[in-house]
Amino acid sequence: MSLLSLLLPELILIVAASGLLLLGLSNKVASRRLAPVVAMLALIVTFCIQIYRVKAGGGPTQHDTFGGISRDGSIYGTLRIAEFAQYIKLISLGIGILLTLLAWPTNDDATGNSALHFGHDAGEFFALMLLSLTGLLLVAGANDIMLLFLGIELASIPTYIMVSVSRPLPVAQEAGVKYFFLGAFAAAIMLFGFSYLYGTTGATNLYEIMLNLHPKDASGIIDWGTRITLTPWQSLAVLMLVAGFAFKMAVVPLHFYVGDVYQGAATPVTAFLSFVPKASGFVALIKLLFALGGPNWLLPEPIVRANGTGLLWVLAILTMTVGNVLGLLQYNVKRVLAFSSVAHSGYMMAALAALATSQFVSPASNVKTTGLQAVLFYLAAYGIMNIGAFGVLQLLSARDGKDSAETFEDLAGKGRHHVSLALSMAVCCFSLTGIPLTVGFMGKLMIIKPALAAAIAKTPVGMSSVRPAMTWLVVIIMINAAISAAYYLRIVATLFLRSEEHAHPATAPHAAPHPAPRPHPRGHHLADHAHPVDPLFTRHTMPILLAVILSVAGTLLFGMIPSATELLGNGVQSAARIEGDIPQALPGLSDKAVAASK
Amino acid sequence: MQFLQNNLLTLLIFLPTGGAVLTLLAKNRDAARWTALATTLVTLALSLVLLITFKTNFGAVQMVQEGDWIPAFNIKYKVGIDGLSLPLVLLSTFICALAAIASWNIEKMTRGYFALFLFLETGILGTFLAIDFFLFYVFFEVTLLPMYFLIGIWGGPRKEYAAIKFFLYTLVGSIALLIVLIGTHLYTKDAATGLGSFDLVKLPLLIKAAIANGSMSMDVVRWFFVLAMICFLIKVPAVPFHTWLPDAHVEAPTAMSMILAALLLKMGGYGIFRVAYPLFSDAGRELWMIVAFVGVLSILYGALCAMAQTDFKRLVAYSSVSHMGFVVLGAAMMTKTAANGALFMMIAHGITSAMLFFIVGVAYDRAHHREISRFGGLATTMPVYFGLSAIGIFANLGLPGLCGFIGEIMVLLGSFEAAKPGSILIQSGAASTRQIYPFAVSACLGVVLTAAYMLWTIQRVYFGPERAEYRGFKEVDSREQVVLWPLAVMALLLGILPTLFVFSYTDSTVETLFKLFR
């Protein structure tokens, strides 16, 4: 397959983004109205291409020879568009469509909507959005640390700008600056890690790195059955890379920016942040782990230790617990969702931690596949259910009627007047909690399954038992599910059980200062209708409403209707065969080839 | 007709959901009320059809309806009925119909109230009828949501606190059960599909096989038993986990208190007999002492707490804790008599607790408070009310001839039976006679305490001189009588003809259950 057709989705998005940048030069209302349409068309076209490709899948994995060493059309390309990448691209584009709907400029002069005020920058805003999504698609297909890094940065850099332009408030500027500096810092650490990885393995191609890391016998056959030992420099590289990805994934201890940034950004941008950079981090991490462990996922020492604990295990436990406890302490719903996003990263890390122990338990327990499936499923599930929650926040107005809802006080008693919206929020919150009949429950089920399977699996002879570590992991997931229920339930309770008069700001000692009176925004803001949700079905709410409906429908559909769950499950299953086409006895690169690659 | 017979259980489960949708579409309050009442009555009628078609000596699960739900995990939609579930299903439809009448005075968001109410009925019936563990879990947890809203929106002054507490407590239990759910799935292999099983009929045997071939260690069995029991003991609720119950009851509207006490608590008891003991009977035998201790503690502590209450509704709530302790004790003793007694206790308590909560509601509607010390002389003011209350209270305290007596006496007899040489506990060596007696004897003490606080309540609320401020109270009206009379009649009938109403159905199933325990 030619490079052009391999990169078709990315190219379409980049062309559309360039067009949007040009469109942004015009200052007309009509061009601002056109911008989201262009973005949406590009996303829908790429989404359809992706559906077609996933459906047509099953053929040989597509590799590009661009820049890599090509030997017999094998796997050393810069891009590797296998089922894994196709699946990630599919869910990214699908969720990208919903995110575009959330950001649709619906007010009269098309400068934003109930929560978003990008002023005249509609073209630029949507161009950035498409570019960021392109970055995620590239990460999904990257088979080379250069492209991987570029992809991650392409996914991240536009988000820094999006946060700043999303609303003309000091909090947003502060969030943008904070996010930018910390993001740049994380990128530097990541790049440092990549450079060490290159330095210690002599390759930038992920497969070459994998081959060079693993021992080979005299005839050059790679031994995939041995667990490698990293040199200190390699360990350092891995640590720095994990730290860099952890920032993107919002994994503790690199989660600290989440609260301020998620709160400061306009709600549609917050929704964007909670999916796109996070997904790019997870995909990159999976690729790194795969390179370290090989097709049998024999992950080395700092990642996982023989007793089942290790880097991933610690990160998972810290992330879940810290995220949920901090979520419990918040008084701003956006901050709650921010820390819930941290906690959900923790659940996905838990599945990866279980996956890492697969080498120490009997293969019959199937930890390897179920672990990877869980992460991939949860990524989609989290994206689907989370968007609904942000969408409802956008549609409900704040107490002062000027902005969309953010604090618990804003939500108080809204369930009485906007029953359907509040119910949508309830569905999303219950799904995030993991109540049955929602996609969140299926996700939680899949997350617990590998950890529990590892906890109860037989230990092969000569291995130390991972049972205590995995049992604790399961227990901590349980405890966290309960903690998280408390704050999701508080959102639902505020909507339905509290009356508007009873909202007492006095009970919010740590409440973040309410956004200061708006300095006059660029262009008009939406003050022309004080209650943007009254009535519900208006031109001003339609796109956001559509996103909420799609999200809620997806949440229930994937949790309830077997064929839908099966569909997603099958996608996940084929995507989890990440090692699919790697022959177990692949001839390694000869030294000459390594030298040639340098 | 054939269609009805084949789909009877499914129809029974989802009929209320259909009614809920109709209720939401109703034009006004009255239409919503009548739709809801009609739905509950049709459901009740359908459940009576079960009585005719049910084969009493069959033992195993019958009227099974099965279909794939999520084949990738071997999750099935499988419903069926046996002697464990039949009485509870009938109790559910019966109490729900009465609760619909008891809800007649709900004025706030009436349509929403009745819609949630009917969803709740679907959840309850689904829990009792599900034979697939996963399906059971889904229904078990989904009942939380409507109840959460029903307490949280239509409840008393501290409704938000009560609703959240109720939800979180039960959710913690549900998460424990989730571990068991996935764990059993991972340990078992269904012969047909090669996947793990969720079938509650096959699981006991599959788990026994897994223990026998060494793939499942006793440690794991013990842990799973403990986790499952924590879930169900929270729901029952037994003493260390009971604190959500008084709060939920006090804040819940009257009809919801009836359903909570009569049906939702039974989901815990049912889970013990449907999931925890059949699946992990070996662990149940080993850990009998802990379970029995929790049971006896609930009986005594619940009774003492009830005695100390000043709020009428809290008193009834604590009496529920005490009575459900008998169910836990009945399960722990592992004798057929005790198990039958526990199952009967659940039905009897369903009747009496619903009745008592409605009685409290009647008093509250008139006096707008529930302080026992501020009542007095109601027997003179409202004689009919007093008469019906007396039946409920005496049935609750276990007066012979009324339903409460049979359950208590059977559990106690069963407990003493457990101390005999032939019992499962003694035979397996898990217990000695000397260990069992203290539990049985202290449970007897609970009966005395129950009588004490109940009689004291009658004395304080109904007897004494008539109070001036209550003189204007009107007698129970026809709507209230429509709720109270059926309950009173059932309390009496169950007390006189326990075999006809309960034991004829439970006996053969308990027999089957005990084949698993040996």
Identify the burial level of A73 via C-beta atoms within 10 angstroms of its C-beta, where 0-12 means exposed, 13-18 middle and 19 or more buried.
Answer: exposed
Number of H helices, E strands in chain A: 23, 2
The end-to-end CA distance of chain A, in Å, is: 26
Helical ranges in A24-82 per DSSP H? 29-56
Cα–Cα distance, A1 to A566 (Å, whole number): 30
Does residue B246 have a cis bond before it (omega within 30 degrees)? no
**In this structure, what token pair is assigned to residue A327?**
């979520």
Angle between helices A467-496 and A439-456 (to 10 degrees): 160
The end-to-end CA distance of chain B, in Å, is: 41
Q: Sort out which chain A residues have CB atoms less than 8 A from B179's CB and list them.
A: 448, 452, 474, 478
pLDDT at A524: 40
The kind and range of the H/E element at A63 are: strand A62-63
Cα–Cα distance, A462 to A359 (Å, whole number): 12
pLDDT at A505: 43
| Contact indicator for A17, A134 with CB cutoff of 8 Å | yes
Per-residue model confidence as pLDDT tens digits over A523-574: 344 433 444 445 677 777 889 999 999 999 999 988 887 666 667 777 777 7
Find where tokens 């709900």 sit: B106
Strands A80-81 and A62-63: antiparallel
Identify the burial level of B315 via C-beta atoms within 10 angstroms of its C-beta, where 0-12 means exposed, 13-18 middle and 19 or more buried.
Answer: buried
CA angle B455, B461, B465 (to 5 degrees): 110
pLDDT at B380: 84
C-beta atoms surrounding B11 within 10 Å: 17
* Residues comprising chain B, all counted: 518
Cα–Cα distance, A363 to A467 (Å, whole number): 15
Whether A485 sits inside 8 A of B182 (CB atoms) is no
Per the rule left: phi > 0, alpha: psi between -120 and 50, beta: everything else, B369 is beta
pLDDT at B276: 92
Cα–Cα distance, B443 to B345 (Å, whole number): 14
pLDDT at B153: 87
| DSSP per-residue string spanning B16-80 | HHHHHHHHHH-SSHHHHHHHHHHHHHHHHHHHHHHHHH--TT--S-EEEEEEEEEGGGTEEEEEE
- B69 touching A (Cβ < 8 Å): yes
Domain residue limits, chain A: 1-217+255-285, 304-507+537-582
pLDDT at B266: 93
Write the CB contacts of A19 (distance below 8 Å, at least 6 apart in sequence). Answer: A38
Q: Which residues in chain B come in under a pLDDT of 70?
A: 1
Residue from A452, A490, A499, A507 to probe the interface with B (highest B Cβ count within 10 Å): A452
| DSSP per-residue string spanning A77-130 | SSBEE-HHHHHHHHHHHHHHHHHHHHT---STTSSB-SS-B-TT-HHHHHHHHH
pLDDT at A580: 52
Residue-by-residue pLDDT tens, chain A, 598 positions: 566 777 889 999 999 999 999 998 888 888 889 999 999 999 999 999 988 887 776 444 555 444 443 444 445 677 777 778 888 999 999 999 999 999 999 888 888 888 888 888 889 999 999 999 999 999 998 888 999 999 999 999 999 999 999 888 898 999 999 999 999 999 999 999 999 999 999 888 888 888 888 887 777 777 778 888 899 999 999 999 999 999 999 998 899 999 999 999 999 999 999 999 999 999 999 999 988 988 888 899 889 988 888 999 999 999 999 999 999 899 899 999 999 999 999 999 999 999 999 888 888 788 888 888 899 999 999 999 999 999 999 888 776 666 778 888 888 888 878 888 899 999 999 999 988 889 999 899 889 989 988 888 777 777 778 888 998 999 999 899 988 988 998 898 888 887 765 444 434 444 444 444 444 443 344 433 444 445 677 777 889 999 999 999 999 988 887 666 667 777 777 777 665 555 444 444 444 444 444 4
Three-class secondary structure assignment of B347-371: HHHHHHHHHHHHHHHHHHHHHCCCE
C-beta atoms surrounding A576 within 10 Å: 24
- B167 touching A (Cβ < 8 Å): yes
Structural Rg of chain B based on CA atoms:
22
Domain residue limits, chain B: 287-518
Write the CB contacts of A454 (distance below 8 Å, at least 6 apart in sequence). Answer: A308, A354, A357, A358, A361, A365, A367, A466, A470
- A517 touching B (Cβ < 8 Å): no
Q: Sort out which chain B residues have CB atoms less than 8 A from A456's CB and list them.
A: 183, 186-187, 220
* Residues comprising chain A, all counted: 598
**In this structure, what token pair is assigned to residue B344?**
């009967």
Residue from B14, B145, B151 to probe the interface with A (highest A Cβ count within 10 Å): B145
Angle between helices B478-496 and B383-397 (to 10 degrees): 30
pLDDT at A510: 42
**In this structure, what token pair is assigned to residue B246?**
């008084």
CA angle A442, A447, A449 (to 5 degrees): 95
Whether A485 sits inside 8 A of B168 (CB atoms) is yes
pLDDT at A113: 85
**In this structure, what token pair is assigned to residue B310?**
């000043």
| Contact indicator for A258, A341 with CB cutoff of 8 Å | yes
Among B138, B153, B163, beta carbon nearest to A436: B138
Amino acid at A564: A
Q: How many CA atoms lie within 13 A of B233 on its CB side?
A: 27
In this complex, how many residue pairs, one in chain A and one in chain B, have their CB atoms less than 8 Å apart?
76
- B365 touching A (Cβ < 8 Å): no
Phi, psi torsion values for B258, nearest 5 degrees: -60, -50
| DSSP per-residue string spanning A246-313 | HHHHT-TTS-TTHHHHHHHS-HHHHHHHTTHHHHHHHHHHHHHHHHHHTTTT---TTT--TTS-SHHH
Whether B164 sits inside 8 A of A458 (CB atoms) is no
pLDDT at B1: 66
- A408 touching B (Cβ < 8 Å): no
DSSP label of A530:
S
Whether A435 sits inside 8 A of B178 (CB atoms) is no
Cα–Cα distance, B279 to B220 (Å, whole number): 12
Determine the residue of chain B that is closest to A492 in CA distance.
Answer: B149
